[in-house]
Amino acid sequence: MSRLSRGFFIVLEGIDGAGKTTLAKMLIDEFKSRGMQAVYTYEPTDSLIVRAVKGEYAPYRDAFVDALAFALDRLIHVKSLILPMLEKGVSVVSDRYFYSSVAYQSAMGAPYEWVMEVNKHAFKPDLAIYLDIPPELAITRRKGLSSRFPEFEEVEFLSKVRQYYKRMVSEGLLIEVDATREMQTVYMEVLEKVKSSQGVKLV
């Protein structure tokens, strides 16, 4: 499969409240408006693996269990959806990917290097953007909204998560975008990052 014949794989990262889902769907609409096929997806998925970890195996959950479970969920996600779509020429915009595991499970207490090692063979996206926002603002934005992982919605914990995201930015794994601004402004910057990325043609 040549790079020119497949779809474009974009990942949006950040803590809940940064605008990932809204921006991902705006990008999908952008692709479609230009006659290009694109699909939205997210991680962790709603697979049996994730449901088991949050349900039957919840008493045993820790940073290591989550990191390994989400890595397996990701591998199946890549094989069952992401790669098949890309091979058909369909672009994929994912709301979270392995960078979330690195940030969150490291913040939970697993060594950063270990979580990186677990995910080092994960299929790499064409573009990975980190939407930066202070936890206090993120929580304010999400007031009254439900969360798939409410146990993570605390300022002190999210501050640690943010530090690990920043570390990945400093290591060149993510491109940072200031997500504290008005949504349309953030979207225009994200769109420019997409347009300037090698392999995607949005003209």
CB 194 within 8 A of CB 10: yes
Distance CA 108, CA 100 (A): 12
Q: 89 labelled as ligand-binding?
A: no
CB 131 within 8 A of CB 18: yes
Distance CA 35, CA 12 (A): 22
Q: 17 labelled as ligand-binding?
A: yes
Q: 73 labelled as ligand-binding?
A: no
In 3-state terms, what secondary structure has residue 50?
A: helix
Distance CA 38, CA 90 (A): 5
Q: 199 labelled as ligand-binding?
A: no
Q: At which residue do the structure tokens 């798939």 appear? A: 148
Q: 10 labelled as ligand-binding?
A: no
Return binding residues for ATP: 14-21
Return binding residues: 14-21
